[in-house]
């Protein structure tokens, strides 16, 4: 095993543009939408909506189809029923269907095209490493797959602990640009250290395979839980929101924006949530990187921020706060803020500054109005009207957890000033702030009036002097 050399830490602008352009091509299906991005998850796919164990190859295929936007859970359930009915009348009732048979049913039902099915079949057969040999690690089972890599549950033999190993797909490992992108993701993740972020332990290459090793998170993603329960209770959603907000604050303090906060990238582990997958993360202040992506809608359509959807160059932590808002909206209502037949249609709705999602507490009357206001503030189309920093959101979340209304949500920073933890803003404070602002404006008006009077006097004197000199 050899470590990666430091080398160049970012793509040349033209390479970055070309790679992201390819990765941003939308997969269009009749039900679900998603941009094709390297948004794999290190989730443990132990239980799917149908109760299938993670070792079942078909459940892994299903997860990949949903996360990559080829099909919706409803499409997969109908295909499962069709296969079960066929097996019950066949020669081998109760047998587990093959991936190829499953893809054929999806083609018959109009969910996949023939070319998509053929390509996916080739991936199943040829684009997964046949023999995984990484010194020091024993591969146990495949637990996830995305557009760029495959994730395995493994044992680190030197210390006898379970880890997750992410391996770059062999077809992509032949391209230096994808290798560099993979290396960059590992380095950014390794630079972060927070209990609410999935940590990177090691990275390197062996036998032509590029990999990095992460902590293994025993649990399910928010996306998997949504498939099971439909929607979350407010208190559980608040706890998850707090964990992710703290993770974002840590990343922001170290100059990184995630750019792909969504249910599939949030792992639920015991009493906390962990944010995973830095495949689309970038340094906030990297102008070269930002300019290379100008005009590209980088992200996942259901949760993408308006500024990302418009391909704006200058984005910051507020884009992650919007995506967290879209995730929370989905968690408590059972559906994303905006829906459509294609990824482009969904992305346009996020980008439209005049279009707002229905208030979440209108779709679910079991959540409090305070929680609804927090989510609406996160989803403000104008980022000036969102929370400006994760710590502002954390302040309001603590209030909600304590049974108190939010302080900062929907308050104008220009009118009332930025509140921080420990501050409060009651009605008397609001009136005092408004009164102070009115008095300040009155003083400006008085000052302008006085200056106008002085200028008038000076003008009169000047005019009189001119007339007097003319008479003389």
pLDDT tens profile 257-313: 998 999 999 999 888 899 988 877 788 877 776 776 776 777 888 999 999 999 888
> pLDDT tens-digit profile of 28-51?
333 333 343 333 333 333 333 333
> pLDDT tens-digit profile of 48-81?
333 333 445 677 677 778 766 777 777 788 888 8
Longest CA–CA span in the chain (Å) reads 124
Give the separation between CA 274 and CA 463, rounded to whole angstroms: 76
Mean pLDDT is highest, among 78-87, 373-382, 427-436, for 373-382
> pLDDT tens-digit profile of 337-396?
998 878 888 999 999 999 999 999 999 999 999 999 999 999 999 999 999 999 999 999
> What angle, 0 to 180 degrees and rounded to 10, lies between the N-to-C axes of helices 114-126 and 57-67?
130
Q: What pLDDT does residue 216 have? A: 92
Q: What is the dihedral of CA 200, 201, 205, 210, to 10 degrees?
A: -30
Who has greater pLDDT, 157 or 173? 157
% of the chain with per-residue pLDDT over 90: 38
Give the Cβ contact number of residue 206 at 10 Å. Answer: 16
Give the separation between CA 397 and CA 376, rounded to whole angstroms: 13
Which residues are catalytically annotated? 260
Q: What pLDDT does residue 1 have? A: 56
CA atoms within 13 A on the CB side of 328: 33
Mean pLDDT, range 219-231, rounded to an integer: 92
> pLDDT tens-digit profile of 101-111?
788 788 877 88
Give the separation between CA 367 and CA 383, rounded to whole angstroms: 24
The answer, yes or no, to whether residue 83 has pLDDT greater than 80, is no
Whether the pTM exceeds 0.75: the reply is no
CA 4, chain centre distance (Å): 28
The answer, yes or no, to whether residue 25 has pLDDT greater than 50, is no
Give the separation between CA 195 and CA 363, rounded to whole angstroms: 33
Q: What pLDDT does residue 289 have? A: 67
């Amino acid at each position: 095993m050899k470590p990666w050399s430091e080398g160049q830490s970012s793509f040349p602008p033209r390479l970055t543009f070309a790679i992201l352009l390819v990765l941003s091509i939308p997969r269009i299906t009749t039900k679900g939408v998603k941009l094709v991005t390297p948004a794999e998850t290190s989730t443990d796919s132990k239980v799917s909506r149908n109760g299938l164990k993670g070792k079942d190859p078909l459940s892994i295929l299903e997860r990949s189809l949903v996360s990559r936007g080829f099909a919706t859970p409803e499409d997969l359930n109908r295909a499962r029923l069709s296969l079960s009915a066929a097996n019950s009348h066949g020669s081998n009732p109760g047998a587990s269907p093959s991936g190829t048979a499953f893809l054929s049913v999806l083609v018959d039902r109009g969910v996949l095209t023939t070319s998509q099915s053929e390509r996916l079949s080739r991936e199943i057969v040829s684009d997964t490493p046949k023999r995984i040999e990484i010194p020091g690690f024993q591969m146990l089972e495949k637990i996830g797959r995305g557009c760029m890599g495959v994730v395995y549950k493994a044992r680190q033999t030197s210390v006898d602990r379970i880890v997750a190993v992410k391996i770059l797909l062999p077809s992509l490992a032949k391209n230096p640009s994808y290798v560099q992108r993979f290396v960059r993701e590992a380095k950014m993740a390794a630079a972060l250290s927070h209990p609410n972020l999935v940590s990177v332990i090691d990275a390197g290459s062996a036998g032509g395979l590029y990999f990095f090793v992460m902590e293994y998170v025993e649990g399910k993603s928010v996306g998997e839980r949504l498939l099971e329960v439909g929607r979350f209770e407010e208190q559980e959603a608040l706890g998850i929101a707090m964990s992710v907000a703290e993770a974002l604050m840590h990343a922001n303090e170290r100059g990184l924006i995630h750019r792909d906060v969504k249910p599939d990238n949030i792992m639920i582990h015991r009493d906390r949530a962990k944010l995973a997958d830095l495949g689309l993360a970038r340094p906030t202040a990297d102008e070269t990187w930002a300019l290379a992506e100008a005009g590209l809608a980088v992200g996942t359509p259901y949760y993408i921020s308006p500024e990302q959807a418009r391909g704006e160059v200058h984005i910051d932590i507020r884009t992650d706060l919007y995506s967290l808002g879209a995730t929370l909206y989905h968690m408590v209502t059972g559906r994303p803020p905006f829906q459509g037949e294609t990824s482009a249609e969904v992305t346009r709705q996020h980008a439209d500054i005049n279009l707002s999602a229905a208030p979440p507490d209108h779709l679910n009357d079991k959540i409090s109005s305070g929680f609804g206001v927090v989510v609406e503030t996160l989803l403000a189309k104008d980022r000036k009207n969102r929370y400006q920093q994760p710590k502002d959101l954390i302040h309001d979340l603590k209030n909600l957890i304590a049974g108190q209304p939010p302080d900062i949500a929907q308050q104008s920073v220009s009118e009332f000033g930025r509140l921080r933890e420990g501050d409060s803003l009651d009605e008397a404070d609001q009136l005092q702030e408004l009164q102070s602002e009115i008095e300040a404006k009155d003083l400006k008006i008085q000052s302008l009036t006085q200056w106008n009077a002085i200028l008038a006097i000076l003008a009169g004197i000047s005019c009189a002097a001119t007339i007097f000199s003319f008479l003389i």
